Amino acid sequence: MPLSMAGIGEISTIVKVNGRDEQRRFLESLGFVDGAEVTVIAKTAGNLIVNIKESRIAIDKSMANRIIV
């Protein structure tokens, strides 16, 4: 399922990152790589604040839909 469907406080493991090459590289530079654990901290109008690799990152819904957990 896409990361945008994960519940608040739920720890998920990233299975795959979809999108064009530059989008995948951008997400990978933020720490969204296969096997990484990500926790949804908050959701606001479809946008997410997530905790990944000891960092909090805000991503929009379109980016969250590219991350499969």
What are 7's two structure tokens?
A: 């519940």
Instruction: Give the pLDDT confidence score for residue 20 in this predicted structure.
Output: 93
Architecture of domain 3-68: Roll (2.30)
Q: Are 65 and 1 spatial neighbours (Cβ–Cβ below 8 Å)?
A: no
Reported as a single tens digit per residue, the pLDDT across 2-56 is 999 999 999 999 999 999 999 999 999 999 999 999 999 999 988 999 999 999 9
Instruction: Give the pLDDT confidence score for residue 46 in this predicted structure.
Output: 81
Q: Which residues pair with residue 55 across a beta bridge?
A: 52
Spatial CA neighbour of 26 closest among 61, 68, 69, 67? 67
For residue 30, the number of C-alpha atoms closer than 13 Å in the C-beta half-sphere is 20
